Amino acid sequence: MDTQVDELKLLVVKAVRMLERIELLDNNGHVSVRIPGTDRFLINSRKASRASLSVRDIVLCDMDGKLLEGDSEPPSEFHIHTEIYKRRDDVGSVVHNHPHYQTVLGIADVPLKPVFGVGAFVQDVPMFEDSSLINTRELGIQLAGKLGEKSSVLLRHHGTVVAAEDIKSAFTISVFLEENAKKQYDASLLAPSIKVLEGENLERTRTSNWQPSIIQKLWTYHQEKAEKQGALSGITE
Termini Cα distance of the chain: 20
Digit-by-digit pLDDT tens for the chain (237 residues) are: 488 999 999 999 999 999 999 999 999 999 999 999 999 999 999 999 999 999 999 999 999 999 999 989 999 999 999 999 999 999 999 999 999 999 999 999 999 999 999 999 888 899 999 989 999 999 999 999 999 999 999 999 999 999 999 999 999 999 999 999 999 999 999 998 999 999 999 999 999 999 999 999 999 999 999 999 999 999 998
Report the distance separating Cα 171 and Cα 149, nearest Å.
Answer: 18
Strands 67-69 and 58-62: antiparallel
Q: Are 60 and 70 within 8 A, CB to CB?
A: yes
Distances in Å between the alpha carbon of 191 and those of 104, 115, 175, 180, 219? 18, 14, 25, 17, 33
pTM more than 0.85: yes
Are residues 164 and 97 in contact, defined by beta-carbon separation less than 8 angstroms?
no
What phi-psi label fits residue 70: left (phi over 0), alpha (psi between -120 and 50 degrees) or beta?
A: left
